[in-house]
Structure 1
């Protein structure tokens, strides 16, 4: 029981430190933030900080790893071929939950989010062959890159505009755009997903 309490206390302290760093990131660049500033924001001493992290960058790296683990967990939950919308919803939920961290990551690592959205490639290129027109493998790859960069652009705009839509709504937008647009055959004649489910 004591070990559990201590572990919970350590987790609470780490969360406090992380939240304080996130607050500081709203106004400063990462390389401008000092351990002293984080400690002051969190109302802890430097010894407490160093008991959990080597420095500010180590704290940020830990948050990035945590976000990565959550994103991978979402993807592993949705391996069914028809789960594109579910995967995107899960990814967007993590982006929203950790928006300060993901916003920072997206400004420093252009490919971070692409790595996770790229996991939907199987659903797009392998499991929708009956809907894809007569395009070459090369064109199919261009098609996917177009899709991938488009989603990342949408997420950037979503973050920039204060996450006005829910993760479910954003995923529904993209799902609808993709399956009702070129290069899918006759898809424009299909009713919207919301109507077909009625």
Structure 2
């Protein structure tokens, strides 16, 4: 019984710290956020912060790792070399649903005060998978350009979508990106 309470308190503490970090990242770069400032905003003492993280960068790294674990699972399930091209909507829907679940975090991470390494890590993961798909399909020499077009274009659409207060649903965004990719990649 005590473990359940402890787990709930730990989850609550981490949620408060996460909320505080996202709030601070709306206006400040991570390098300018102190443990004291974050702890004060979350209304916890610094000692409690240090029970879970060594510093703000450690907190950010753990957060990114958790997100990438889930994102990697989506990519593994939906983006396989033998997946038909028309099935890309299913992948996009899963990605937009993932982004919706983590909207505040991802918006802060890709925002002007976010972590460029996070964005590049996302892009590289998708590019690597697309590369393996194009290689398996023996795509022509334009494959690397198609990868860059698809990944950068979708990243731009995601940034725009996350910045809108009344953004369309993940389903609508999956449809938008599917249409754009099919036109852009000449798949009409």
Name structure 2 gaps, 5 residues minimum: none
Q: CA deviation at 1:79?
A: 5.0
Higher helix share: 2
Query: C-alpha separation between the residues in 1 aligned to 2:10 and 2:20?
Result: 15
Query: Which residue in the other structure is 1:95 paired with?
Result: 99
| 1:58 is the counterpart of 2:74 | no
1:14-25 matches, within 5 Å, as 14-25=14-25
Higher relative contact order, structure no. (Cα contacts within 8 Å, ≥ 6 residues apart): 2
1:19-168 matches, within 5 Å, as 19-79=19-79, 81-82=83-84, 83-106=87-110, 107=114, 108-109=116-117, 110-118=119-127, 121=130, 125=134, 137-162=140-165, 164-168=167-171
Structure with higher Rg: it is 1
Name structure 1 gaps, 5 residues minimum: 130-135, 188-198
Q: CA deviation at 1:87?
A: 1.4
Query: C-alpha separation between the residues in 1 aligned to 2:68 and 2:168?
Result: 23
Assess, with a 3 A threshold, how the Cα gap between structure 1 residues 174 and 23 changes in structure 2: closer, same or farther. same
TM-score normalised to structure 1 length: 0.76
- Conservation of the 8 A alpha-carbon contact between 1:78 and 1:86: yes
Query: C-alpha separation between the residues in 2 aligned to 1:114 and 1:179?
Result: 19
- SS of aligned partner of 2:8: helix
Q: CA deviation at 1:76?
A: 2.9
Assess, with a 3 A threshold, how the Cα gap between structure 1 residues 128 and 119 changes in structure 2: closer, same or farther. same
- Conservation of the 8 A alpha-carbon contact between 1:105 and 1:112: no
